[in-house]
Structure 1
Amino acid sequence: MNRTLFLLTAVVFTVAPVLGQEQGSIAFSRPGVADVRQQLGEWLTASGADKTVADAVNELWADSSQLNAMTGEETLDMLIQSFAKADAAAAKLLQESFGEVAPAAIIFDGIRARPLYQNQIELFRARWLVQHRHYDEALPVLEKLSPDDVVDPAGLLFYRALCQSELLKRREALETLSLLLVNTTDVPSRFRVVAEMLQKELIARKDDGMQHVASLMKDVNRRLDLGDSGKQTQGQEDEVIAALDKLLEELDQQNQQGGGGGGGGSGSQGSNQPSSQGMQDSAIKGGSATGEADRKELKETGRWGMADKQAEAKARELIRQKFPPNFLDQIGRYTRKIADKKK
């Protein structure tokens, strides 16, 4: 087999220091094109690829100036194309990546168990999963891979952070973003811009309250869009409703203690004490002892499950007063989505 185009460099994926950082800190760097070509040549030799396949792969990697200008993402794509010319499983994965159904996972045995092949294939498939919102399936793969393992360390960290953020793993996402923005070289500008915006949003995000409820509703909607109505989704549905109950009770207590909002006169006796009846009426769980019956009604009909229409109107008004205008719409879309799932 002709391997003249593959340079015989012994260096593999490296971690290099970054100027300006404290001594002892490290940065994840993309391997050089020569390193990748050399390892790819070794993989082709081990795979038993014939001369026709080797020549086709060599042609992809012939223009050094073009290769040196490629991003990490483009290098990853080039490797997958090269694997696809020599390996049927990689060819199938590449073809399936153009569709809307998740590409099937590859069994890594034999020549496919080599790190160059396995790590790039896993990153390529995980990238597709993230881009199509399959965060639960992608994250374990992305957390298992190290930036040292892949030709696109910036892409690995970027998509890992996105998964962690979407799955409400705020602290983990911030740690990954720090690695990306501080300890990684050659980060594409679009990744950096989005990562910096996401970092600011995560720093400001709270783990409870209205923001948490909105994030939970968003994730439940995503799961339902993907056809996932399993136990984890159902558990999050219950968590959303419980959180809404708590928010409404807290709002009602604030209104009762502050004398604000429609209700009893501000000078009425005992107005500084929260009304337990008011809290019960304005909670989504209504007057039921456990709330289970009314939560079932919310899931199956899309109604809020209030004790009466007046209580539901009061709850809606509390939300309009205290939260952003689109929050009530979010709750409405969420409850309709839950109801549609049950039909």
Structure 2
Amino acid sequence: MVFIAIAATLGSHLQVASAQNSAAQNSAAQDGLKRKASWNRFDAASMAQMMRSSMDEFGVTPDAMDRAAEDFLNAIESDDADPLDAFVKVTSRMIPVIGELVSVSNQNISVAAASVDPSTPTYGAIESLPKSMRMTLRTWLGRELVRARLYDEALPVIAEVDPVESIDPAAALYYRGACYHALMMKKEALADLRRLLENKDQAPVRFTRTAQLMVADIKGLEEDSLDEISRLMTDVTRRLDLGHTSETTEKQEQKIIDKLTKLIEKIEEQQKQQQQQQQQQSGGNPSGGGAQGNPMEDSNIAGGGGNGDVDRKGIDAKDGWGNLPPAERNQALQQISRDLPTHYREAIEAYFRKLATDGA
């Protein structure tokens, strides 16, 4: 009986210890989930303090910093202003390079983006700003460029941003992720968008919902697929809409042609293999009729099977693909898109209609 009591006591202690250990593990797991997010949203007071610290480092007087912090908080709390807009508006009155950049961006956003290039004098002035101020300014300008669909110009502006050093980490991750998504930089887009979603409870709903859609959209993107070709066509159309007829646009157009050629050749090769398999299954008799080895009777019509060789579609640059006459272009389009899903067929036809219009 003593041994039974001891065993029962030990069992009871072991159960308690097991429960405590399980609780500790659950607590640790929950803490791990909390620590998983690599960024956190700053409240208005924290953002104002970050701005004050940057101004202090830059050499702004205490009185001026007080007024700036008050204006910043009023803009956010009373006027419901966007934090990035409020930050830029307040600091532009005291930091010359920020005021100059904002003024230029109001006139021509592309010129403002170019002023951040390392070859320009403005670049040195921007890079000399305190880190938090610099990261916030780049986040703001990158956002404006993404909103204008100027993704190539936005990328060098926002790529170097450390989100946790900007007063709005969610905006930095969202707009940079959107930029990568538009430029089909799959790995980079997924990294930023998934990082944003680590802490989706602290990000604006419009960011998280759109980020989820972009992740679902791009994670299945495969090289040389119809999906990629369609996206390239959309990108070229965007560039042409913006008046960008640069070498980059021409390279994108050539990439589309090369990928279409590769895709057509792949389809033709598959058709050739299928025809060869059909011939082998019919015993080498192209007609597919009559007993194997028996000659066809004169009254029978010969089958139309062949050896599977087909003419290659000549759409290399040397063939003047973009300059084909309308009748030949339409015929080529029909050959390319006749077996494609409606979405891709419409994208291809819209793309080449755009080229024809611009080239007219």
**TM-score computed with the length of structure 1 as normaliser:** 0.73
Tell me which residue corresponds to 2:349.
Answer: 332
Report if aligned partners of 1:302, 1:336 keep a CA contact under 8 Å in 2. no
* CA distance in 1: counterparts of 2:65 and 2:167, whole angstroms: 21
Matched, 1:298 2:314: no
* CA distance in 1: counterparts of 2:39 and 2:244, whole angstroms: 36
Matched, 1:276 2:310: yes
* Aligned pair partner of 1:27 in 14, 22, 38: 38
Q: CA shift at 1:211, angstroms?
A: 0.8
Relative to 1, partners in 2 of residues 1:83 and 1:111: Cα closer, same or farther, differing over 3 Å? farther
- Radius of gyration: which is bigger? 2
* Aligned pair partner of 1:175 in 191, 194, 197: 191
**What are the residue-to-residue correspondences of 1:184-199 with 2, within 5 Å?**
186-199=202-215
Could you report, residue by residue, the CA deviation over 1:236-261 in whole angstroms, capped at 9, with x for unpaired residues? 211111211222333344556657xx
Aligned identity (percent) is: 25
Tell me which residue corresponds to 1:262.
Answer: none
Specify every segment of 5 or more residues in structure 2 that has no aligned partner in the other structure, as ranges. 1-27, 116-121, 276-285, 289-301
Q: CA shift at 1:49, angstroms?
A: 5.4
Matched, 1:74 2:82: yes
Q: SS at 2:228's partner residue?
A: helix
Could you report, residue by residue, the CA deviation over 1:238-295 in whole angstroms, capped at 9, with x for unpaired residues? 1111211222333344556657xxxxx9856683742233xx1xx242xxxxx3321x
* CA distance in 2: counterparts of 1:38 and 1:184, whole angstroms: 24
Report if aligned partners of 2:233, 2:351 keep a CA contact under 8 Å in 1. yes
Q: CA shift at 1:155, angstroms?
A: 0.9
Report if aligned partners of 2:197, 2:208 keep a CA contact under 8 Å in 1. yes
Q: CA shift at 1:131, angstroms?
A: 0.9
Q: SS at 2:258's partner residue?
A: helix
Q: CA shift at 1:80, angstroms?
A: 0.7
| RMSD over aligned Cα atoms | 3.7
Tell me which residue corresponds to 1:143.
Answer: 159
Relative to 1, partners in 2 of residues 1:314 and 1:60: Cα closer, same or farther, differing over 3 Å? closer
Relative to 1, partners in 2 of residues 1:88 and 1:19: Cα closer, same or farther, differing over 3 Å? farther
* Aligned pair partner of 1:94 in 102, 106, 112: 102
Relative to 1, partners in 2 of residues 1:325 and 1:28: Cα closer, same or farther, differing over 3 Å? same
**Which amino acid in the other structure matches residue 305 of structure 2?**
S
Q: CA shift at 1:186, angstroms?
A: 1.3
**Which amino acid in the other structure matches residue 332 of structure 1?**
E
Report if aligned partners of 1:302, 1:338 keep a CA contact under 8 Å in 2. no
Relative to 1, partners in 2 of residues 1:250 and 1:124: Cα closer, same or farther, differing over 3 Å? same
Q: CA shift at 1:214, angstroms?
A: 0.6
Query: Which 10-residue stretch deviates more, 161-170 or 47-56?
Result: 47-56
Report if aligned partners of 1:251, 1:318 keep a CA contact under 8 Å in 2. no
* CA distance in 2: counterparts of 1:243 and 1:97, whole angstroms: 37
Tell me which residue corresponds to 1:8.
Answer: none
Matched, 1:60 2:83: no
* CA distance in 2: counterparts of 1:62 and 1:20, whole angstroms: 32
**What are the residue-to-residue correspondences of 1:253-268 with 2, within 5 Å?**
253-255=269-271
Larger % of helix: which?
A: 2
* CA distance in 2: counterparts of 1:312 and 1:111, whole angstroms: 52
Q: CA shift at 1:319, angstroms?
A: 2.0
* CA distance in 2: counterparts of 1:49 and 1:88, whole angstroms: 12
Matched, 1:114 2:130: yes
Could you report, residue by residue, the CA deviation over 1:160-215 in whole angstroms, capped at 9, with x for unpaired residues? 11111111111221122211112566111011101111111112322222111111
Q: CA shift at 1:64, angstroms?
A: 10
Report if aligned partners of 1:220, 1:233 keep a CA contact under 8 Å in 2. yes
Matched, 1:316 2:322: no
**Which amino acid in the other structure matches residue 293 of structure 1?**
K
**TM-score computed with the length of structure 2 as normaliser:** 0.70
Relative to 1, partners in 2 of residues 1:175 and 1:270: Cα closer, same or farther, differing over 3 Å? farther
Q: SS at 2:93's partner residue?
A: helix
